[in-house]
Amino acid sequence: MATIIKHPDLEDYFVELTLDEIRCRPHGITDLYEANKLILLKGFRLPVDLTLFQRMSGNLSKVEDPKVRRKIKKLTATKFFNGASPAFVEGEQGRTYQAFETDDVVRRAIYDVLCNGEPDLFAAASAAMKTANDVATDLFATCFPSYRYYRVEPSVRLTTTLFENLHWDNHQVADDFQQVRIFCNLDQRPRIWHTSHNFVRYAEAVYREHDLGRFAGRDPNELNDFICGALLGGTRGACTDRLPRHAIAFEPGEIWFGESRMISHQIFYGERAMVYMYFVSPQGMLDPERRFNRQVEDLHARMAAAAAV
């Protein structure tokens, strides 16, 4: 199980549950998730061979096109197993060689660069990602039995992340939706996170000092931009803020769930991870008032009412 070092000045929002315990709950973990808890799947590990990802190359300098390089860095997981596959063909003097005919430049880069042009590694990694995809799909159905998603972004990150800035996620999506994020550590070493304040609680604490009322009625992403950038320093000011932190070391293959727009986080160290993001209509929530946009709207309304008094 993950090692968690809790800071006494922060809310303890961690919940650890086994899959059997989740199945016995009438709403899975939906109520906990909507309450902005960080839920760890106790006693469960992704059933794939993680050494496969260890064998893959993280040297993206071989990818010349910067657009393709960005797509490889934050890779769509389904690119591993959807599309053409390599095939053996007859070459000169009766020898066989591996051919991979595809117009998909990302899938081609997975084969040529990440898998070093090794057909066996490519096949094994593709099968492993298909298993991981199926596990994420099943976990969503089990853990959020009343949710129906209308969009999913399945991503896998196979490059190193170090000393990230503390932030709340901002997907630059203007839609008003409920987000479900499923995280999994694909590395053979722990993935180390730091987490800190709830977004709304932190914004409330600094609301008057920084005149955050000017963001009322605007896209909540703008408030996020200001707090993460101007107040906490953004990527250029990584590790320079002085907010208190919990520290978590997620074990290899471990899975956890959290609304990353509400729980601030910092990847302090990580090599490989899978992140599945599901978009759910607010109408499908247990309490639509708990969605991110609505919580920010409520913050502005409360602060305006308090100022009027």
**What secondary structure letter does DSSP report for 188?**
S
- C-alpha–C-alpha distance, residues 76 and 107, integer Å: 10
User: Amino acid letter at 91?
Assistant: G
Give the pLDDT of residue 61.
84
Encode pLDDT of 202-235 as tens digits.
999 999 999 999 999 999 999 999 999 999 999 9
Q: Is 91 exposed, middle or buried (0-12, 13-18, 19+ CB in 10 A)?
A: exposed
Does the pLDDT value for residue 95 go beyond 70? no
User: Mean pLDDT throughout 106-111?
Assistant: 93
Cα–Cα distance between 296 and 288 in angstroms, integer?
A: 13
Mean pLDDT score, 104-126: 93
Over pLDDT 90: what percentage of the chain? Answer: 86
Model confidence at 86, pLDDT cuts 50, 70, 90, reads: confident
The pTM for the full model equals: 0.94
**Would you state the pLDDT for residue 98?**
75
> Rounded CA gap, 225 and 27, in Å?
33
Average of pLDDT values for 239-244?
95
Q: Shortest CA distance to 121 belongs to which of 180, 80, 83?
A: 80
pLDDT at 96 over 90: no
Which pLDDT score is estimated for 115?
A: 93
Mean pLDDT across the stretch 181-203? 98
Pairing of strands 263-270, 255-257: unpaired
Residue 11: count other Cβ atoms within 10 Å of its Cβ: 16
Distance separating alpha carbons of residues 261 and 163, to the nearest angstrom: 19
Helices (H) and strands (E) in the chain, counts: 9, 14
Q: Give yes or no for a contact between 235 and 256, defined as CB atoms under 8 angstroms apart.
A: no
Q: Rounded to an integer, what distance in angstroms lies between the CA atom of residue 72 and that of residue 256? A: 23
User: Angle at the Cα of 157 (from 106 to 221), degrees rounded to 5?
Assistant: 100
Q: Three-class SS of residue 213?
A: helix
Task: Compute the average pLDDT of residues 267-271.
Answer: 96
Q: Name the residue among 292, 116, 287 with its Cα closest to residue 220.
A: 292
Angle at 8 between CA 212 and CA 245, to 5 degrees: 55
At 9, list the tokens.
């000045």
User: For the segment 30-68, what is each residue's pLDDT rounded down to a tens digit?
Assistant: 999 999 999 999 999 999 999 999 999 888 888 888 999
Please report which helix (H) or strand (E) contains residue 255, including its range.
strand 255-257
Give the pLDDT score at 91: 67
Taking the C-alpha atoms of 160, 165, 170 and 171 in order, what is their torsion angle to the nearest 10 degrees?
-10
DSSP 251: P
8 Å CB contact between 156 and 129: yes
Residue of 93 and 181 predicted with greater confidence: 181
CB atoms within 10 A of CB 211: 9
pLDDT at 70 over 80: yes
